[in-house]
């Protein structure tokens, strides 16, 4: 059976979530109030209403309750700012508890009925007493959420070694698995300084670009394999995967020479298999 679905993002979110639009006339960019497992919140519509097979949905749809009015949107913005302004105060409270944790951000839902504190820590932290103290101080429900270095960087933002804003801040690479093998596929230096982002983990863009390199590697000759060129037979020394150019070494009794050829000029004799 097909059901109506609309996608939306939470404030500062990078993922879209599906909701049931019910009979509401929703447009991209609308701010709406939705039901969530943790109560109601405001989200922004990111796609038009579509029909999908119900059995393809990972879980039952939560409802869009209503389109948020100007008063609710304004109040939400004020509450978000109010939560952000609590960051320094919360950090001081955590410091007073002598807990080995670093507070990254303080967030709230649109009506300020729940305060979420994102933090990083090297080890498991017993923050039960901290929750009690914060709940007593702010008189609302408190949620402490331990996040990893990638999520911390996504929240804080920054610029990568390429000079552009971090991929995770723009919504790219957040769920991508990145591996050293991908870096090797791209002939990257394996020096951690060169292939690590601000979070200290492998650069997200390595996974983003990897599909191209995997396809090109299938058609390029292997390094140290023998190939035929317009100038005779030689040995592959290096592959420029972006330009699809092959560096070939020719050796004689007295000298050796390396020449570059486009892939189209290479007739692979030995694939090294």
Q: What is the pLDDT of residues 176-235, one digit of tens each?
A: 688 999 999 998 889 988 899 898 889 988 888 899 999 999 999 999 999 999 999 999
| Residue 106, burial from CB neighbour count under 10 angstroms (0-12, 13-18, 19+) | buried
Given 12, 43, 68, the domain boundary residue is 68
Beta bridge partner(s), residue 103: 119
For residue 177, being part of any structural domain is answered with yes
Enter the pTM of the model: 0.74
Q: What is the pLDDT of residue 34?
A: 94
Burial (CB < 10 A; 0-12, 13-18, 19+), residue 6, is buried
Q: Edge-to-edge strand order for the sheet containing 102-108?
A: 102-108, 114-120, 141-146
> Is 154 part of any domain?
no
When divided into structural domains, the chain yields a total of 4
Q: Within a domain: residue 155?
A: no
| 43 and 18 inside one domain | yes
Q: Which of 14-28, 62-76, 83-97 has the lowest mean pLDDT?
A: 14-28
User: How much is the pLDDT for 273?
Assistant: 40
Q: Answer whether residue 160 is part of any domain.
A: no
* Predicted local distance difference test score (pLDDT) of residue 175: 62
Q: How confident is the model at residue 66 (pLDDT cuts 50, 70, 90)?
A: very high
Contacts of 39 (CB under 8 A, 6+ apart): 109, 113, 114
Higher pLDDT, 37 or 83: 83
CA-to-CA dists, residue 84 to 72, 81, 108, 109, angstroms = 18, 5, 9, 12
In 125-255, the DSSP E strands lie at 141-146, 226-229, 232-240, 245-251
Task: Please report which confidence band the pLDDT of residue 52 belongs to, taking 50, 70 and 90 as the band edges.
Answer: confident
d(CA 120, CA 166): 19
Q: What range defines the domain where residue 87 resides?
A: 77-147
Statement to judge: residues 8 and 42 lie in one domain: yes
Is the Cβ–Cβ distance between 261 and 246 less than 8 Å?
Answer: yes
CA distance 33 to 128: 31
The fraction of the chain above a pLDDT of 70, given in percent, is: 96
137: in domain: yes
Query: Quick check: is 152 in a domain?
Result: no
Query: Which of the four pLDDT bands, split at 50, 70 and 90, describes residue 244?
Result: very high
pLDDT value of position 243: 93
First-last CA distance in the chain: 50
Q: Are residues 122 and 92 in the same domain?
A: yes
pLDDT-based confidence at residue 79 (cuts at 50, 70, 90): very high
Residue 156 has pLDDT above 70, yes or no: yes
Tell whether 187 is covered by a domain. Answer: yes
Tell me: do 212 and 230 sit in the same domain: no
The answer on 34 and 53 residing in a single domain is yes
The residues with which 44 forms a beta bridge, in sequence order, are 9, 31
10-27 mean pLDDT: 88
Structure tokens at 216: 């090109």
CATH number at residue 128: 3.30.300
* Token digits of residue 166: 């971090």
Mean pLDDT along residues 14-30 = 90
In a domain, 163, yes or no: no
């Amino acid at each position: 059976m097909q059901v109506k679905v609309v996608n939306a993002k939470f404030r500062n979110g990078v993922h879209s979530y599906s909701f049931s639009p019910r009979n509401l006339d929703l447009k991209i960019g609308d701010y709406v109030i939705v039901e969530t497992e943790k109560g109601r919140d405001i989200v922004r519509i990111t796609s038009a209403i579509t029909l999908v097979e119900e059995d393809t949905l990972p879980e039952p749809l939560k409802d869009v309750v209503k389109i948020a009015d100007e008063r609710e949107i304004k109040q939400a913005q004020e509450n978000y700012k109010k939560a952000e302004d609590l960051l320094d105060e919360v950090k001081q409270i955590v410091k007073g508890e002598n807990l080995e944790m670093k507070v990254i951000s303080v967030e709230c839902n649109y009506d300020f009925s729940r305060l979420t504190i994102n933090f990083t820590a090297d080890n498991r932290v017993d923050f039960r007493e901290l929750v009690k103290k914060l709940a007593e101080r702010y008189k609302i429900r408190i949620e402490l959420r331990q996040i990893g270095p990638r999520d911390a960087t996504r929240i804080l933002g920054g610029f990568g070694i390429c000079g552009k804003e971090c991929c995770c801040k723009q919504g790219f690479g957040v769920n991508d698995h990145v591996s050293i093998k991908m870096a090797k596929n791209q002939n990257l230096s394996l020096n951690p300084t060169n292939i690590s982002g601000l979070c200290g983990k492998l650069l997200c863009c390595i996974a983003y670009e990897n599909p191209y390199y995997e396809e090109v590697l299938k058609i390029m000759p292997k390094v140290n394999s023998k190939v035929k060129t317009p100038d005779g037979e030689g040995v592959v020394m290096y592959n420029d995967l972006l330009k699809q150019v092959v560096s070939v070494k020719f050796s004689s009794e007295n000298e050796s020479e390396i020449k570059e050829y486009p892939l189209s000029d290479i007739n692979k004799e030995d694939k090294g298999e």
